[in-house]
Structure 1
Amino acid sequence: MTRLSLAQVPETSFFVRRSLASMHFGSDETEQLTHLQRYADGVWTPERIEARLAGIDDSDQLALEMRRLRREVMVGLVARDVTGTGGLDEVIGVMTALAESAVHHTVRVHSRELAKRYGVPIGTNGEPQDMLVVGMGKLGGAELNVSSDIDLIFLYDEGGQTQPVGEFERARRQVSNHEFFEKLAKRVIPALNDLDGTGFVFRVDMRLRPFGDAGPIAVSTAMLEEYLYTQGRDWERFAWLKARVINRPVFMRQAAFDDALKLLYSLVRPFVFRKYADFSAISALSRVHEMIRTQTLRRQVGKQDEINVKLGRGGIREIEFITQTFQIIRGGREADLRGRSTRPMLRLLAERGVIDNAVAERLIDEYEFLRNLEHALQYVDDKQTQILPPDDESRARIASMLGVAPDDMMRRLIDAQAFVAGVFDSIFKTDVPTEESPGWQTGWDVADEEGRRACEDRLTELGFSDVRGLSSRIDRLLNTRIKSIRNADVKRQFKKFVIQIAENANQWAKLKTSSVPGDEVFHRYLNLLDVIAGRPTYVALLNQYPSASERVGRLLAMSRWAADYLTAHPLLLDEMIDDRAVLYDDFSPVDWRDWSENLRRQLLACEDDQERQMNLLRDAHHGAVFRLLLSDLAGRFTVERLADQLSALADAVIELVIDLAWRTIPTRHVERPKFAVVAYGKLGGKELGYASDLDIIFLYDDPDQEGVANYPKLVRRMLSWLTVQTSSGILFQIDMRLRPNGENGLIASSFEMFKRYQHNEDGNGAWEWEHQALTRARFCAGDPDIGRAFETERRTILLQARDPAKVAKGVVEMRQKMLEGHPNNSDLFDVKHDRGGMVDIEFVVQMLVLAYAQRHPELTNNFGNILLLEMAGRCGLIDPELARKSMKAYRHYRKMQREIRLSQGENAPARVSHEAAAVDRAVVLELWQAVFGQYA
């Protein structure tokens, strides 16, 4: 079906037909069509709208001109849209611009007229004051409908009194600022809202102001702040998410007006967006939505054949709620998720992986369809309606405006509503445990002997052993830890959740991946509850979504290290709330460049708040590590692949920190520092573990003398960024002892100084063990030119001719020192430090590189111990079969080390029975003998 022709527009829209007649174009259809063509030809840009109103200073003339302008704009929009010339973006853009311009000029003209009588409002700071008009809803989001009302809130910044100043010095009577702005508001509303022979401008709705219809019509920002933080309700957080000041200054300087806006947004932002991931938004919005849906159903009693495309099931409001809920949850931590417009935010949520990309694109498609349908309904008679009538004639009229057949329109509408409703339900579906808790005696949670006994009896029935210890911790949590919380519902949520853990912990402990009893799982969960006791929103979430609490329980049962990590960083519960946590067993490699760029944008968005930047960086790093951990526990990683990912993540973080720290140095002399970070040890060999320290040094290559002062500053600031404890924890522990001259050396070395030191030109340079460390060194972040120069120099040093016997003697001596530094007095075998363990393999590899790289230059490639063993076998330096067995042993050791750390905690020594390591140890001792035996 084709779009309507221009001649069909008046036949389809009663509003257009009536408007053309009221414009006195006569009854001749040809003349009317000529004028309609004129309106349809031009796009109503903000500049064109502004030009119509800017020169008017009389309120009566302005009221008339605004009504004429709206009628012309509306006629043009209808004609362009239904004929296919315009579109949704044009319609909402023009209507938003019209509202902004109309509101501003109405405030301007009436402010000046009042000032002639009362003077200019002056604040306590002696500066003029203006009314701030806050647009809410679709106006705030710049998504205004053609026949929509506008939700406004009138604010002013400071109290005070009007004064006869400047051009208003003849004002005869002074009033308080509050009285002035109240009078102004009472003029602005009818100027926009009242209907006369020419029509109206916009219907004005003031019910979103503090205290609703019972509240003052103009509110100070101080009163607004007190209201929001003492009486603000859940639904008001969603309303204020889209809030935007839409007028411009009249009396104030632009800079002062901008400061007032910043102050307003700064006091509203913490009300809307919480510092932590705010999962209570789901239940809060569920209540709001249920209330709206109930009201909608009541209005439709006896009108079941009507369809509400906005408030009905699967309508526009549900798409907006889906978007706003995730914004509220994450916007406190991710500033770019605080946008006011629906479609851009849906795309960003998909980009962040919060919503599936295909789902987001479909939601956007359906949103655009439903908004176009809504506009068509309003085009008919300029009524604020979202109801699709049941009769065939009305539906045929609406379908023709959309350019489709009526049956096709209805099929599309039904499909759209079904899809949107399905997505909405999948997000807001809850499975709340019943209030009744069979088996738990009344008073089990009371802090007395009878309550303790009741709790212990129930824990015994459930199969726990440490009932005394568990009961004591439960008592401490419920009757001490959260005692100060006044909210009875919060306390009830904690009590319910303790029951949920108790009744499931033994089941979680029976997982094939778990090796701990249910008592230990319970204790781990109580550790987590102790930490999140001050953030009851998490407990409410876990109560509301048992599937999420089960995921957490299974994770706690699988890994002590994971339990400790989650307890240390409870924000990571965000990762467990939906099905994303299940998808980590289908891991695909992370593009750390994209990850870095996304994070960089977020960091730069809060560049004026370093503490927030540091927390954001830590939260992002912890989240990335946690996602790798979940994939690891799901069995999706080899040891090498996991280490590669963790090393790449560390590189990305260091790269970001270089940039962030450099920006904070006011004396920086170049835009990009000529500076690089070199990694040694685990990071250098890309064998990083979850909790590994970073062995790094800092080099610069800059002829500018200012660099001598600036680069040490950069290093100190980087160390602060990386190691300082903030409310979000730390990033890494840093070890810089491998820099030239060790702990006595400069924290930042010029590249030339590094070269001289490595070549030991003055006899005070690098020791042989420092060249040994170079075998596992690599450039990891910073200036690539310095990175390439470092790699060239590293190869040059490693390619030097060396006496194998001398190298062997030095390596053996160093190995003995390490052995003495890590005594093992247990009956177990230490897979890392004991003879025949991992360190022996690593020292063998380093010996082979130092002693034979001149003959076999390929050994200088930093490929890691496993590949270098294979290369040594191919080069004939060791027996190829022995090399293969040694590679297998090293893999096995690293796997055992990882499993021990995951199951027993970060600080657990990697020790196993001698029987478990016997085969691998024998291979490694054979390798050691083969390489070093000839030099003994």
Structure 2
Amino acid sequence: MTALDPLTAIAQAADYSRYLRARLEARPELAAWLAEACLAPFERRTMADFLAAAPAADEDTLKQRLRDLRQRVMAVIIVRDLAGQADLTEVTRTCTDLAEVAFAEACAWHHRDLAEIHGEPLDARGRPQKLIVVGMGKLGGRELNVSSDVDPIFVYPEDGETSGPRRIASHEFFVRLGRRLINSIGETNHHGFVFRVDMRLRPYGDEGPLVSSFAMLENYFYTQAREWERYAWIKARPLTGERLDELEALRRPFVFRKYLDFGAFAAMRDLHAQIRREVARKDKTDNVKLGPGGIREIEFIAQVFQLVRGGQTPSLQVRPTRAILTQLAALHLLPERVAGELEAAYILLRNVEHRLQYRDDQQTQQLPHAPEERLRLARALGYADWEGFEAHLNTVRRKVAGQFEQVFGAPQEDQSGHPLSGLRHLPPEAARAHLDELGYTDSAAALDRLRALIGGSRYAGLPAVNKNALDGLLPPLIEVAAGQPNPDDTLARILTLLEAIARRAPYLLLLQEYPQTLTQVARIVGASPWAAQYLTGQPYLLDELLDPRALMAAPDWDLKRDELRDRLAAYDGDLERKMDVLRHFKQSETFRLLAQDLAGMWTLEHLSDQLAALADLVLAQTLELVWADLPRKHRDRPAFAVIAYGKLGGKELGYASDLDIVFLYDDPHPDAQDLYARLGKRMNTWMTTLTAAGILYETDLRLRPDGASGLLVSSVEAFDDYQHQHAWTWEHQALTRARYSCGDAAVGTRFAAIREAILCLPRDPAKLRADVLEMRQKMHDGHPNTGPLFDLKHDSGGVVDVEFAVQYLILAHSARHPGLTANRGNIALLGVAGELGLIPADIAAAAADAYRELRRRQHQVKLQGAEHARLPVEEVAEATAAVRALWRAVFGV
């Protein structure tokens, strides 16, 4: 940025801006002041100091001082912007600061003046109250343009009356204050105006009261407000007053729904259509704000995502448009390239808007038609001629309009032209023939399901919007289900999903707004009944299907942890919301892994690793949250760790596995046992409590010392003593698959040392063999299988046999081969045992392959929704033979 030559810059600005030239001619002293003032931005403190230097003794003086300030601010902005010294951020910030300073000054002055007559307006508890001026639109977003209307709303906390001798109702006091405020800011006199004031956004518009109490505003929000008013209140921000947190508690839930609100698309689409009709009627196609590809379309793109997702994603509740575009890219709701193009377009269009307004201080966004005016505008924007500028502007606006159409393109509401739209109204024979042609194998059953849904009492009782959405979804759903390998099952599962969400319009509208999602739904529910049940139970997960790239991206757990912490931080003090955030996070990440699994992205071993990493992350965050909320702590961070056993410990977790965990601490403080017992108990409660979002994980704490009768948490010394002196062989077997999960790393290190020492103890092979075989028989007896199918987990030759064999090898040989204590998983440990000659290498390799195959088949069967993982014996004969060979090699039986 080159150094500013003030005199040249002022002369060039005055040549372009007729408004500035007229001010300098009318007030010659302004030029000398401006030559110095334009060297730096006009700061908020400077504005306040200017007003404080000569306090207004009367209302006329107040108006004059405010208008004088406005002229000075405008002069500095125009000179600095046209000279290339001020960017868009400086211009809009300065304009917004001027509005805030002006409202604060005028509001305080008139409040004092009225209070001298009527006394202070008191609430029910006798406390003085202040008027809250709520800045709407660009004022609220700190994006005000240089010749903008301001759209305030006047609010006060409670009804009551004033305290003075000439008492009036508080409402009347604030009405009088509001009228004076409008006059002081908006009246045009021989000094000009400060801002044009438009009060039509207040409750009930022009017909409504000028001011509203909190109670009146809340009642209006939930009984009278229209959908577009949520859009208007997105940027709403209080500029004056007190008890602002109470106002925010009214605004936030009105604007930002707790659920994903896809109905916002239709509401904003309708609002935009009205604007487009008005633009066409008034021939404003060349309007850079309201015309195609204009400022308003960029704002709508940003704000529809705020309305849809802001309730669940607090980072989308910020107000400035450019900040929202940045967030949309960060959240992958818009491609980074698109968000960047929209921000660049926004900057260009706002700069054009300002130069249009600099000419005559008129609130205009209309491009000029006169050739001379066009050339002036182009050059003021740094272009040599109008043609070059127009070409660039048109390219930018086409990109904005194209992106707007992508976001707001009309959904598939009207399916009257779809070949299957009249299917349910056809005679049964004709309807079945259509379904037969599509590939349904039992068209009669499929037709019965369709008619049961549409003819049922649930459908009859639906609101009209739900019925219309459901009617529009059925034809394409029948079509996409027919494209799956098992159309009949797929359709049945989709219809079950639709029945579950039929009363929840946001989910129906999601599918309607994003018809491409239907194919993803069909693929997932068609592939797995368990997946279909999971999705039906948590239909908000439909949102995960909107972006295939994000859905299929391998998880970055460090990044996920940071994102989760940010989401949790937004609900400080709200325990229930934090519990639900954790549950939604776990369910969403599980669903992503499920979709990736069904697409063939993961081997079973890698999938289990990912599910274990997710569980570790959730446990760690639960520990953090519970510790932060725990009273009477004697240290900042807990000397406490969560130890994972079983499937979590061995990183062989499945989608619905519970967590076998043990809590350890290493803290000599006399209150440590009680403190960490409370911590462990609350952690367990956080995970297992059923909230509206379900449970986090089922847990099993029985592997702790002395089992269910033992203490919930143990010191590392007590744990060490128990393992050496009191533990049963089966508890040492369990220790082979145990590992540190989360918490204090030093405690984890001590646990690892204890574990290795225990596993490396010399043992009597005969006694160990007898103990392990006895425990295996108990497990076998506890899972009887009298049917003809083979139980992949519990029957002889199944998964448990491999696990017991590996555990025996670890306990029997780690004293001489410490490498066996590494928690590397059964497949890797079989390889180590084969290399060490503990069992024949070929038997070890075959057993490892068999274990992998049995777990893979077990996983497949579970995804098909079976209660038990059982298959015909002949299908797994080769694998079970390899496991039995391992068993004989290890145990000799």
Q: Is 1:770 the counterpart of 2:731 in the alignment?
A: yes
The question of 1:270 aligning with 2:253 is answered yes
Q: 1:20 to 1:639 in 2, by over 3 A?
A: same
Using the TM superposition, name which of 79-88 and 724-733 deviates more.
79-88
Assess if the C-alpha contact under 8 Å between 2:135 and 2:153 holds in 1: yes
Residue 504 of structure 1: which of 436, 458, 479 is its match?
479
Aligned partner of 2:29 in structure 1 is 25
Matches within 5 A, 1:299-378: 299-300=282-283, 307-378=286-357
Say if 2:481 and 2:522, in contact at 8 Å, map to a contact too. Answer: no
In the alignment, the residues of structure 2 paired with residue 405 and residue 622 of structure 1 have an alpha-carbon distance, to the nearest angstrom, of 57
Quick check: 1:676 aligned with 2:607?
no
In the TM superposition, 1:547-586 aligns within 5 A as 547-576=516-545, 578=546, 580-581=547-548, 584-585=551-552
- Summarize deviations over 1:758-813 as a string: whole Å, max 9, x none: 111xxxx1111111111111101101111111112111111222233332222222
- Residue 530 of structure 1 and its aligned partner are, at CA, apart by 3.1
Which region of structure 1 is more displaced relative to structure 2, 217-226 or 725-734?
Answer: 217-226
Offset of residue 507 of structure 1: 0.5
Partner of 1:627: 592
Q: CA deviation at 1:881?
A: 2.7
Give the AA of the match of 1:894: R
Cα distance in 2 for residues equivalent to 1:345 and 1:522: 39
Cα displacement (A) at 1:492: 3.0
Equivalent residue number for residue 167 of structure 1 = none
Structure 1 residue 594, shift from structure 2 partner: 1.8
Q: Which residue identity is paired with 1:93?
A: R
Q: Per-residue CA shift, 1:13-49, capped at 9, x if unaligned?
A: 22221222222339xxxxx4x4432120232222221
Equivalence for 1:13: 17
**Cα distance, 1:71 vs structure 2:** 0.7
Cross-structure match for 2:495: 526
In the alignment, what sits opposite 1:49?
A: 47
1:75-118 per-position Cα deviation (integer Å, ceiling 9, x unaligned): 11111122222211111111111111111111111122222233
Matched to 2:785, the amino acid is N
Distance 1:878 1:309 in 2: 79
| Segment drifting more, 845-854 vs 746-755 | 845-854
**What is residue 850 of structure 1 aligned with on the other side?**
811
Mapped partners of 1:620, 1:414: distance in 2 = 43
Say if 2:814 is the partner of 1:841.
no
Does structure 1 retain, via aligned residues, the 8 Å contact 2:453–2:495? no
Conserved 8 A contact 1:532-1:570? yes
CA 1:439/1:421 → structure 2, altered by over 3 Å: closer, same or farther?
closer
Identity %: 44
**CA shift for structure 1 position 459:** 5.6
Counterpart contact for 2:414–2:472, Cα < 8 Å: no
Q: After superposition, what is the alpha-carbon deviation per residue over 1:237-268, rounded to whole angstroms, capped at 9, x for unaligned?
A: 111111111113xxxxxxxx22xx22222122
Q: Normalization by structure 1: what TM-score?
A: 0.90
Contact kept in structure 2, 1:470 and 1:523, CA below 8 Å:
no
What does residue range 65-84 of structure 1 map to in structure 2 within 5 Å?
65-84=65-84
Does 2:431 align with 1:462?
no
Partner of 1:240: 233
Equivalent residue number for residue 470 of structure 2: 494
Contact 2:147 2:363 in 1 (8 A): yes
Give the aligned partner of residue 712 of structure 1.
Answer: 677
Superposition deviation, residue 483 in structure 1:
4.6
Corresponding residue for 1:430?
A: 410
Distance 1:442 1:549 in 2: 20
Q: CA deviation at 1:745?
A: 0.8
2: CA distance, partners of 1:496 / 1:753: 65
Deviation at 1:484, TM superposition (A): 4.5
User: Are 1:99 and 2:99 an aligned pair?
Assistant: yes
**Alpha-carbon distance between aligned partners in 2 of 1:457 and 1:732, rounded to the nearest angstrom:** 49
Contact 1:334 1:602 in 2 (8 A): yes
Partner of 1:163: 163
2:883 matched to which residue of 1? Answer: 924
Render the CA deviation track for 1:505-524: whole Å, top value 9, x for unaligned: 6504x33xxxx451x32332
2: CA distance between counterparts of 1:772 and 1:444? 60
Deviation at 1:460, TM superposition (A): 7.0
Question: Does the CA-based 8 Å contact 1:59-1:106 persist in structure 2?
Answer: no
Deviation at residue 53 of structure 1 after TM alignment: 2.6
Displacement of 1:434: 2.8
Contact residue 571 and residue 577 of structure 2 kept, 8 A: yes
Say if 2:267 is the partner of 1:284.
yes
> Would you say how many aligned residue pairs link Structure 1 and Structure 2?
882
Amino acid at match of 1:462: L
Q: Would the aligned equivalents of 2:93 and 2:142 in 1 still touch at CA under 8 Å?
A: yes
Judged with a 3 Å threshold, the aligned counterparts in structure 2 of structure 1 residues 79 and 798 are, in CA distance, closer, same or farther, namely: same
In the other structure, the counterpart of 1:862 is 823
**For residue 225 of structure 1, what is the aligned residue in structure 2?**
218
1:699 to 657, 661, 664: 664
How far does residue 222 in structure 1 lie from its aligned partner after superposition? 2.0
Tell me, in whole angstroms, the C-alpha distance in 2 between the residues paired with 1:756 and 1:478.
68
Preserved contact between residue 521 and residue 557 of structure 1 (Cα < 8 Å): yes
Superimposed CA distance per residue, residues 845-887 of structure 1 (whole angstroms, 9 cap, x where no aligned partner): 1111111112221111111111112222222222333322222
Q: What is the match of residue 141 of structure 1? A: 141
- Segments of structure 2 that go 5 or more residues without pairing to the other structure are none
Match of 1:725 in 2: 690
Aligned to 1:252: none
Residues 465 and 505, structure 2, Cα contact 8 Å, conserved in 1 = no
State how far apart, in whole Å, the 1-side matches of 2:455 and 2:215 are: 37
Q: 1:349 to 1:431 in 2, by over 3 A?
A: closer
SS in 2 for 1:695: strand
Does the 8 A contact of 2:297 with 2:401 survive in 1? yes
The residue type equivalent to 1:416 in the other structure is: V
Q: Do 2:66 and 2:102's aligned partners in 1 also have CA atoms closer than 8 Å?
A: yes
Separation in structure 2 between the aligned mates of residue 143 and residue 865 of structure 1, nearest angstrom: 61
Greater shift in the superposed pair: 591-600 or 561-570? 591-600
Q: Which one of 858, 862, 877 corresponds to residue 838 of structure 2?
A: 877
Q: 1:106 to 1:879 in 2, by over 3 A?
A: same
For residues 490 and 786 of structure 1, the distance between their equivalents in structure 2, rounded to whole angstroms, comes to 55
For the residue of structure 1 that corresponds to 2:29, the secondary structure is coil
d(CA) in 2 for partners of 1:71, 1:88:
19
Using the alignment, how far apart are the partners of 1:603 and 1:404 within structure 2?
A: 48
Greater Cα offset, 487-496 or 7-16: 487-496
Structure 1 pair 600–442 and aligned structure 2 pair: CA distance change class (3 A): closer
Deviation at 1:470, TM superposition (A): 6.6
How much is the aligned-residue C-alpha RMSD, in angstroms? 2.4
Residues in 1 aligned to 2:684 and 2:148: alpha-carbon distance in whole angstroms: 55
Task: Using the TM superposition, give the Cα deviation of residue 444 of structure 1 relative to its aligned residue in structure 2, in angstroms.
Answer: 6.2
On the 8 A contact 2:332/2:550 being kept in 1, the answer is no
Aligned to 1:380: 359
Aligned residue in 2 for 1:186 = 179
The alpha carbon displacement at 1:702 in A equals 0.9
SS at 1:699's partner residue?
strand
Which residue pairs with 1:421 in the alignment?
Answer: 401
Q: 1:673 & 1:410 partners in 2: Cα distance?
A: 64
- State the alpha-carbon separation in 2 of the partners of residues 474 and 720 from structure 1: 44
Structure 2 counterpart of 1:645: 610
TM-score by length of 2: 0.94
The yes-or-no answer on 1:663 pairing with 2:628 is yes
Distance 1:607 1:57, change over 3 A: farther
**What pairs with 1:593-612 in structure 2 (closer than 5 Å)?**
593-612=558-577
Counterpart in the other structure of 1:831:
792
Does structure 2 conserve the Cα–Cα contact (< 8 Å) formed by 1:831 and 1:912? yes
Q: Is the 8 A contact 1:827 1:913 kept in 2?
A: yes
User: Displacement of 1:456 after TM fit?
Assistant: 9.2
